[in-house]
Amino acid sequence: MKHLSEHPGPIGVFDSGYGGLTILHGIRQLMPEYDYVYLGDNARAPYGPRSFDVVYEFTRQAVMRLFEMGCHLVILGCNTASAKALRTIQQRDLPQTDPSRRVLGVIRPTAEVIGQLTHTRHVGILATEGTIKSQSYDLEIAKLYPDIQVTGVACPFWVPLVEYNEADSPGADYFVKKRLDQLALLDPDIDAIILGCTHYPLLMPKIVKYINPGIRIVPQGGYVAESLRDYLVRHPEMASRCTRHGTVEYYTTENTEKFNESARLFLHEEVCAHHLTLGDEG
């Protein structure tokens, strides 16, 4: 482990792919004054089908790299990493590495807000297979709101639709409608649906097209951003370790040109990423 700087640094945002850019976008919209570093492990994506052990190891490598880059606070802008790696990193790695550093996920902030967004107390989750199988949302929501019934459906083709720029295609209609119909069949009383994958907001026009009127769609970006702002207010010692020059840097384990092109889909702005390697890949 390299020496970790005690100087203030940027806020790190990590994802296995591009979806975490929707989280970064939400955070920057709310707190543009801070500096950010985004790291996408695109060369080893997707994490969804991988085992807990592999996701933990890959996520740990990314978090440690962001620490080395000066981040004192890292957001796992990835539901799979939040579901399969966050708790172990918080409980096992941080006490050994640097107990003053923090790693936060995207599942709890969304779980915290859902109680205010459902009247029927029936909530749906649309996510990757890994996130659904982990039951992380079910467990977090049950802790906070034991009266809420949660029903999850895995949407295995939704991420490729987004990443291959097919989100607006007629073919996307079939896959989106199929999963929404499946969820409605499992629980007709659902009145709020969490988009439990950071890619899914890019399918919002299709989702709205096939969803029953009156059902609330809950993307994560804004809620994670509000939760982070609240966290920094409650922890001024961490806020003081986060630099504020309004900058953002992007890093990818994949080809930088490919990353820049795909990032434009998520951010609607030009980015210029740097390449790095994690672990033994590349």
Three-class DSSP labels, the chain: CCCCCCCCECEEEEECCCCHHHHHHHHHHHCCCCCEEEEECHHHCCCCCCCHHHHHHHHHHHHHHHHHCCCCEEEECCHHHHHHCHHHHHHHHHHHHCCCCEEECCHHHHHHHHCCCCCCCEEEEEECHHHHHHCHHHHHHHHHCCCCEEEEEECCCHHHHHHCCCCCCHHHHHHHHHHHHHHHHHCCCCCEEEECCCCHHHHHHHHHHHCCCCCEEECCHHHHHHHHHHHHHHCHHHHCCECCCCCEEEEECCCHHHHHHHHHHHHCCCCCCEECCCCCCC
Backbone angles phi, psi at 134, to 5 degrees: -70, -20
| Options 71, 78, 155, 242, the catalytic residue | 78
- Quote the CA–CA distance of 49 and 53 in Å, as a whole number: 12
| Options 71, 155, 197, 242, the catalytic residue | 197
Residue 197 falls in the annotated catalytic set: yes
Residues labelled as active-site residues: 78, 197
